[in-house]
Amino acid sequence: MMSNVQALPTLERYAAESKKDEASFIASLNNADVGGRALTKGSPLWPGFHVTFEAKKGVCVSADKRRAPSGRPFLSLTAINMDRSGWYAVEFDLEPRNITDNSVVILILEAQCRETVSSFAALRMFDKSGWVDIASMEIDINADRSVRTFPIGISPAWRSKCVNAERARLILFIEAKQSIINIFDARIQIERLSSSISDERFSGLGALLLDRLSQNHSRTVGIATWTEGPDVKNLPLKSYEEVGPGLKIAFGNAALAPKLTILREGEIFRRSLDLSPIADADWLTLELDIGVSLLTIGAFALRATVSSPTTLSPAIRVVSARGHVDYEIFDKIHLSSDLTTYAQSMSLSSLLEKGDPSAERYQLIFFFDGRPETLQIEELIFSME
């Protein structure tokens, strides 16, 4: 298995055509008087950057400016006397006129935490009637210093909120756990989509990938999205049988078979898998064929829901005549009963450097760490560039 492969902020490749909404995080931190401060609720560390949490006696967040061996500053935050199940947040002021519907607001965060903590971002827009949050998916921050992207899709349904917004903030919520989190860089980009995508189809980076594909900036392999399907109800599936174009379900040593139903909701065809018959399977995977060669950057977006919380471990599988090798270069995915889009981009350079001349094809594999009774997949996109 491959480890410690850092995600590339591939969305930064489009920085020249994107609007950055905040001053340089590093420059602001370098000039800020931080120095081991115990912050009170809402304390601005510098103009436009705040730390917030629920105000209770003895509870605070400590902020300290430290420097890497290179001399580059980074910000260390520690939750003090905070319930381990609690949350605190760092907030970036945004210029509301730069936020429009049919776009994606992306927080690009380089961070590290000794203990694994959950985090998610939300775009909060304020108008005369109050405020509304549009949230990203949840992502773990752990001991691996790496770059993570939090894409937030703004569908046409939010048009009036965008037009009437008086101010806006991008908020990163962080699970407390009284652990030190180091933030090495944070950037915000806004990607305008060239074509309109309906509210039902809009899903953060999934929409952004679709938009890039429509402009031929990427190479699509496997499936993009499902917008049609046959009438299927409780169809038994054998191991390695297709769930959708290019996507197979595979499992080991189960006496019975999972069942596939295709549900139509407006323009969406959702694949629903009844996995209860294979609860005793030795292993369970979803396997997407992605082609016979690799490019330098790979990205996927999975929009799905499960009956009970389940963790998926994505990997790139290199298949040859001798067998196969799996490389776990992506972060784990935590699915729940809420319909969620999980998206991730990664450098494939390390795999290319290995250059297995016997490789015949490549797959994107999702290993199930649990056995939910049902899995519904609305969208699965994979692209390389």
Task: Write out the chain's pLDDT in tens, 385 residues.
Answer: 222 222 223 333 333 333 343 347 888 888 887 766 667 666 688 888 888 888 788 888 888 888 888 888 999 998 888 887 788 999 999 988 888 887 778 888 889 998 888 888 889 999 998 898 887 767 788 888 877 777 787 877 788 888 899 999 999 999 988 789 999 988 888 877 655 544 444 445 555 555 554 444 444 444 444 555 667 889 999 999 988 878 899 999 888 999 999 887 766 678 899 999 999 999 999 998 888 887 777 777 787 889 998 999 999 999 988 889 888 877 788 888 877 767 676 677 777 777 677 888 889 999 999 889 999 987 787 777 6
Per-residue confidence (pLDDT) for residue 23, from 0 to 100: 45
Domain boundaries, the chain: 10-192, 219-384
Pick 219-384's CATH classification: 2.60.120.260, 3.40.50.80, 1.10.3720.10, 3.40.50.720: 2.60.120.260
Short-list 261, 259, 257, CA closest to 231: 261
Short-list 138, 131, 206, 133, CA closest to 170: 133
- Scan for tokens 């491959």, then name that residue: 2
* Cα distance between residue 270 and residue 284, in whole Å: 20
This prediction has a pTM of 0.58
* Cα distance between residue 179 and residue 145, in whole Å: 15
3-class secondary structure, 231? coil
- DSSP structural state of residue 331: P
Cβ pair 141, 116 in contact under 8 A:
yes
3-class secondary structure, 212? helix
Tokens of 348: 């494939």
Residue 372 exposure: Cα atoms within 13 Å on the Cβ side = 21
Helix (H) or strand (E) holding 213: helix 205-214
Tokens of 370: 């649990």
| Residue 84 to residues 79, 118, 149, Cα–Cα distance (Å) | 9, 11, 24
* Cα distance between residue 102 and residue 118, in whole Å: 28
Q: Which CATH superfamily is domain 10-192 in?
A: Galactose-binding domain-like (2.60.120.260)
Q: Could you give phi then psi for residue 315, rounded to 5 degrees?
A: -150, 155
- 88 forms beta bridges with 53, 174
Contacts of 358 (CB under 8 A, 6+ apart): 320, 321, 322
* Cα distance between residue 6 and residue 55, in whole Å: 36
- Scan for tokens 């980074």, then name that residue: 74
Contacts of 130 (CB under 8 A, 6+ apart): none
Per-residue confidence (pLDDT) for residue 183, from 0 to 100: 93
Helix (H) or strand (E) holding 333: strand 333-335
* Cα distance between residue 136 and residue 208, in whole Å: 14
* Cα distance between residue 71 and residue 227, in whole Å: 51
Per-residue confidence (pLDDT) for residue 276, from 0 to 100: 94
- Scan for tokens 């290995």, then name that residue: 354
- Scan for tokens 């939750």, then name that residue: 79
| Residue 201 to residues 266, 300, 376, Cα–Cα distance (Å) | 11, 16, 15
